[in-house]
Structure 1
Amino acid sequence: MKIPLSPLPLSVLLDKYGGALGGLLRRRVGPEVKGRYEHWDHLRHLTPPTGLKHEQWWLAIKLARSAAARDLPLLDREGRPFRVALTDSIASKLHTITKQAAGSIRGLDQQEDEHAKHRFLIRSQIEEAMTSSQLEGAGTTRAVAKDMLRSGRKPRDHGERMIYNNYLAMQELKRWRDQPLTPDAVFEIHRLITSDTLEDPSQAGRFRTAADNVVVEDETGRVLHLPPRAEELPQRLRALCDFANGVHDGEGFLHPVVRAIAIHFQIGYDHPFCDGNGRTARTLFYWSMLRSGYWLTEYLSVSSVFKNAKARYLRSYLQTETDESDMSYFVDHHLEVIVDAIDNLHGYLARKVEERGRAQALLKPSSKLGARLNHRQRELLIDAVRHPDKSYRIDRHMQVHGVTYQTARTDLGSLVELKLMRCQRIGRAFLYTPVPDLVQRLK
């Protein structure tokens, strides 16, 4: 990971170009470049406006950002407050998220019952648990992880345990979101997330110490980030909890989504624990979003987007550190991630609605496959498309359709022969479940 080149501090630029300040202000340079919150490391390679040097252009941008920025009650390692500039593009993303994540969503409100919505919720929690853990090294494959969480079996190795713990934490959010955040609650979350995954189990649910010597390194061992001193952590976590609970709201309105993102950032920056900081940070982001009424967040997987652009995620931290603690880089990237996660959910739901429509068409009595099935089998398969995690039993099929045991067994057995259902024996009962690619098989 390349560390972004730090620009000259604003105070130095003002000393250097103070005589030209009036001319710079008259140019009305905005805080962004073509809608992007550029860092000096990239901007220095762009073509500046006519008549300006790169440093003068950067000074004009920094002045515009200062006018739009506000200090947060969260401090960097040197005791300076982090700042966030609410630019036009950031405000636009916040509006999109507020409109969609606090209201209804296309596709989800088309599901006929609460069971379908619950299924989508479980899917998102599984996805977030997997990708959040994979961001921090869990090597378990997607198929194996899904099988573990859906079947309810216990984890077999370190990677599976990381994912399993994350899944439990996502499910616990409903309990945590109705409570104020306290240091003890953060420790409880950390203990749950790291249970049985640390080389030293005593590190779960406690601050790192100076002796732990925790730093953030890249894959080559180069230090990317030196967290605040260990003795400062109790005070810093207390301040973060006050911020999360809105204790400082008298200082003015801060958008709830920005607050949630800042909580995520600060845990990652402070690195209060020996391990599991990223997973704890992302869990607290979800806690804050849900506590603020953004219910749709439960159905999103932000870590899926972070995982697909891990370098960009890490770079947004480094850009903040190398530009006078301007958290806007991290906020801007995180907002893009949330918008992408919402779009991904839209796409997933649209595909499922389309798949169900195709399945119903394929199972019409006049269709080639539908003609081979009786009406009971067609109804069961349409139900299975809607509820792919559902299981079916012979006695229940008997009751629903009022048929004999032998008829019900034949119905389900024929679907197994057609490779549309699977059968396994549990005790004395036979359990029938849809094949994972049922919709494709129906074609």
Structure 2
Amino acid sequence: MVKIPVSGPTFRDLLSDPDLMSEVQRILTAGTGPEVKGRYYHWDKLRHLDPPAGFTTHEWWLALKSARTQLAKPIALLDRTGAPFTFSMTDTVLQAIHRIDRDASGKIEISEQVTSPETRDRYIISSLIQEAITSSQLEGAVTTIERAKDMIRTGRKPTDQSEQMILNNYMAMRRVRQFTHERLTPERILELQKIVTADTLDDPGAAGRLRRRGDDVVVSDFDGEILHRPPDAAELGDRLDRMCAFANGEDGDAFVHPVVRAVILHFWVGYDHPFVDGNGRTARALFYWSMLSQGYWLCEYISISTLLRSQSARYARSYLHTETDENDLTYFLLYQLGIIQRAIDAVHVHLDRKVEEARRVEALLRQAVVLNHRQIALLSHSLRHPNSRYSIRSHRNSHNVVYQTARTDLLDLAARGLLIRRKVGQTFYFYPKGDLAERLKRLEA
């Protein structure tokens, strides 16, 4: 359960506090930084901690706020009162974006088996599917990951709204990959929202348009308490233009680090809530667009929603901490940077494991028979998931090949006695032999 954090005194209120005025010079020259041992505490947490020697809690808060104010950099996003949002490049922020620069862009040491044109589509498609599922689950979609993956890979139609949300999100993520070299425009954002909400809205006309004055859109908890009330609908056209200018780096001369820009774009959509529905999914899709368009190619392989879903309360709290402390985006920025780093670490572990699996299967098959990389990938999957079934359509979708290529792959494996072919309705499915590992060893022999 997420509760609205307790707001602390503002910097201006602290400076005019009669109890602090005589101590201001001592407090502001004490050398206090914006963080406490690498932690960027909100007042809601800080008020329960023991202050440093010689400080009261309010004096400590004033020292921290002073250090943060000196670092604060305003952006074009304004709150409902017209006050700007700001962010601070603290040591922790700088360290995090350095790691992301190092690990998600440029030339990274990853096996050619993963990044070569022949095999990379399989890994990217798998990542897109994972992101589509968990991003939809964050917004309330209810289904199993296995069932959702089967729907996308086999191309079957969704059976309920949850599956429709997942399929929509998958299509939106694929669409994002197609325009990463283009400028972001309001029309492109509307297009993405239309994709993620297709056939899921009570009012189909709300897909692909901004919310209107009569649309009472708020963010609330399960008990109905309002956590966030977005800006007036009449402002959305102008806000969307400023959002796109920011996303494209056309918002002025001040430099904003590309990763910081992507994270702020994510927050911006969530704060403005420009649509009746699909705001969260659109925000996360635009985050990917921003990262990919600025050269962070490894983000094609990561799923931030998987981690956000496991910490949904902290995700919501990072928004609330920003809104309840003078629009300080550093809270959201630090949380999201941590998520990105963990997602990058996870994909490196995942890809290392995939490389090792591919090597084992290839070593097993190298002397036995000549198979292509798609067949090797399918057999590797079959060894780990012996109850799986494959169709020509699912094989096509997994490897981005034409129908005839996928059909030839599967029929060849069946002819070699590695798969069983069965007809279910009008579709042929292929199942791994129960003794697949032994058959592979015999083929090797």
* Counterpart in the other structure of 2:416: 411
Distance 1:352 1:214, change over 3 A: same
Residues in 2 aligned to 1:296 and 1:332: alpha-carbon distance in whole angstroms: 20
Distance 1:339 1:441, change over 3 A: farther
Distance 1:211 1:51, change over 3 A: same
Contact map agreement 1:102 1:294 (CA 8 A) in 2: yes
The structure showing larger relative contact order (alpha-carbon pairs under 8 Å, at least 6 residues apart) is 2
Gaps of 5+ in 2: 383-393, 397-404
Displacement after TM superposition at 1:424 (Å): 3.2
Contact map agreement 1:71 1:81 (CA 8 A) in 2: yes
Residues in 1 aligned to 2:181 and 2:6: alpha-carbon distance in whole angstroms: 42
> Is 387-396 or 63-72 further displaced after alignment?
387-396
Distance 1:328 1:394, change over 3 A: closer
Partner AA of 2:263 in structure 1: I
Distance 1:301 1:385, change over 3 A: same
Displacement after TM superposition at 1:339 (Å): 0.3
Question: Aligned match of 1:189 in 175, 189, 192?
Answer: 192
Summarize deviations over 1:183-210 as a string: whole Å, max 9, x none. Answer: 2211111111111010110111112122
After superposition, the CA RMSD in angstroms is 3.1
Residues in 2 aligned to 1:197 and 1:269: alpha-carbon distance in whole angstroms: 22
Displacement after TM superposition at 1:144 (Å): 0.7
* Structure 1 segments of 4+ aligned residues over 3 angstroms from their partners: 104-113, 356-365, 374-398, 424-443
Displacement after TM superposition at 1:111 (Å): 3.2
* Counterpart in the other structure of 1:69: 72
Residues in 2 aligned to 1:22 and 1:180: alpha-carbon distance in whole angstroms: 48
Residues in 2 aligned to 1:31 and 1:256: alpha-carbon distance in whole angstroms: 22
* Counterpart in the other structure of 2:10: 9
Displacement after TM superposition at 1:437 (Å): 12
Question: Aligned match of 1:19 in 15, 19, 22?
Answer: 22
Residues in 2 aligned to 1:397 and 1:205: alpha-carbon distance in whole angstroms: 40
Distance 1:292 1:433, change over 3 A: farther
Displacement after TM superposition at 1:410 (Å): 5.6
Residues in 2 aligned to 1:209 and 1:379: alpha-carbon distance in whole angstroms: 51
* Counterpart in the other structure of 2:310: 308
Contact map agreement 1:355 1:439 (CA 8 A) in 2: no
Partner AA of 1:190 in structure 2: Q
Displacement after TM superposition at 1:395 (Å): 6.4
* Counterpart in the other structure of 1:260: 262
Partner AA of 1:411 in structure 2: R
* Counterpart in the other structure of 2:326: 324
Partner of 1:193, secondary structure, is helix
Displacement after TM superposition at 1:121 (Å): 0.3
Distance 1:295 1:378, change over 3 A: closer
Summarize deviations over 1:376-421 as a string: whole Å, max 9, x none. Answer: 69999755446777589896699x8xxxxxxx86632xx3xxxxx3
The share of aligned pairs that are identical, in percent, is 47
Partner of 1:224, secondary structure, is strand
Distance 1:354 1:435, change over 3 A: farther
Distance 1:179 1:58, change over 3 A: same
* Counterpart in the other structure of 2:179: 176
Question: Aligned match of 1:164 in 163, 167, 170?
Answer: 167
* Counterpart in the other structure of 2:281: 279
Distance 1:35 1:430, change over 3 A: same
Residues in 2 aligned to 1:98 and 1:346: alpha-carbon distance in whole angstroms: 15
Question: Aligned match of 2:421 in 403, 420, 423?
Answer: 423
* Counterpart in the other structure of 1:80: 83
Gaps of 5+ in 1: 366-373, 401-407, 416-420
Q: Where do 1:27-426 residues align within 5 Å?
A: 27-111=30-114, 113-250=116-253, 252-359=254-361, 375=369, 382=376, 384-385=378-379, 390=395, 411-412=416-417, 415=418, 421-425=419-423
Summarize deviations over 1:215-261 as a string: whole Å, max 9, x none. Answer: 110011111111111111111111111111212231x1110111111
Partner AA of 1:308 in structure 2: S
> Is 81-90 or 169-178 further displaced after alignment?
169-178
* Counterpart in the other structure of 2:385: none
Contact map agreement 1:5 1:322 (CA 8 A) in 2: yes
Partner AA of 1:152 in structure 2: G
Partner of 1:352, secondary structure, is helix
Contact map agreement 2:414 2:420 (CA 8 A) in 1: no
Distance 1:23 1:135, change over 3 A: same
Distance 1:437 1:261, change over 3 A: farther
Displacement after TM superposition at 1:47 (Å): 1.3
